[in-house]
Structure 1
């Protein structure tokens, strides 16, 4: 089957071209249970500010063959070799944070601290105000209800990951998702964490 004629494949190829990256869609077989066929692991890889960026998702083979995908959720990651262990979790505060008094760390930005919870490792606590210095980043995180961010170091590789709960359906929406990701990545780079 020629997958190049399928709309979502065209979308990923166009986005890879615009971002200056390479597109791949290796197939992974699924053998087990009542599953038949396989899954395609869509990926776009490119370099941003000297870092390896990967945008990826998994799409099942049979719906893809029938051109049934109009959109998909994505995960964006940035990686860098680094021996220092760093961790940072970012979440939107909710009812449980109010009940259990989980105030989190303070960045010095009152409205941001009131709505966003942070759990950094001790070695980057002092950098929080410089990481979140960009007002566009703070406003994006406050307004964003559907994405989660996680920064961690595993096996001497620091990884920033953004999981999107919003399904992307156009080249512009994928570019917009990367732009939002790059706001935090730039903050981490400028704060000398990443």
Structure 2
């Protein structure tokens, strides 16, 4: 009987030793190699920035054309328009955008989109050359350099400042600076 216990323990020990020695030759499954740390704050802010620009784009491009005016489907009043853009933009910035690119039509009593150029919009396709500067846990600045926009040798840097507001990232400031 003691011989059987010793033999069983020896076999188990040998099996464990072999498993340990040869474990480096056995490929691990992806689930054991990848830790689920989740996306970084930069990745989350970047995704929020793209969504914010999509929101901006939808506000100014989803409109009804009535009596010569472009009326956004996402905000027929100034307050409703600011509320809509505030989902992706800091409220003061959303207000500035609405005040710059829309006007009140007195005879209709509603907000209309001004026929003009708007803000530069960054899409998913613009992301690879984007640079990221994490200021702190609540502030990240994305920037992209553009050349040859208005003349062959010009150079501009477009900066998008993202700020974390309690439960979401929003665009808090935009700047386009000539270099």
- TM-score of Structure 1 vs Structure 2, range by shorter chain: under 0.3
| TM-score normalised over the length of structure 2 | 0.28
Which protein shows a greater Rg? 2
